Amino acid sequence: MVKTIEDCQDFVNAYNKAFDEGKKEFDYDIELKDGRIVNRLFIIKQFKIKLNDEKKVNTLLKGENKFIDKEGAPFCPCKLQHIDENICPCKECLDEAEEMGQCHCQMYIKA
């Protein structure tokens, strides 16, 4: 798996579809470089999200790709601990977007 803008957009599309369907949560599978599948349960917040696809996001994705190459997973570049809960997008990312309109790294923003 290579973490790309398209991978991020797939997540955004799945999240927004679940939002439109009135779901409270949804499962999302993240395939890791080693072939492992991490199934994550995401709580639907009270907003849609969109991908901020500016240059900064591309830089962040390059950082995530380094984690994929080195550790096998696209860990959040803002997190020091590389555990499954910190695979991008992490819970804190969506919590920050809900509270502040965007996550810390500005990859995901309110629509």
Tokens 């991008």 identify what position?
A: 88
Q: pLDDT band for 2, please (50, 70, 90 cuts).
A: low
**Which range of residues forms the domain containing residue 45?**
5-110
Whole-prediction pTM: 0.86
Q: Is the pLDDT of residue 53 over 80?
A: no
- Look at residue 44 and tell me whether its pLDDT is greater than 60: yes
pLDDT tens digit sequence for 60-81: 888 888 888 888 888 888 888 9
Question: How many structural domains is the chain composed of?
Answer: 1
Mean pLDDT of 90-107: 91
Q: Which of 26, 27, 14, 24 is nearest to 108 (CA)?
A: 14
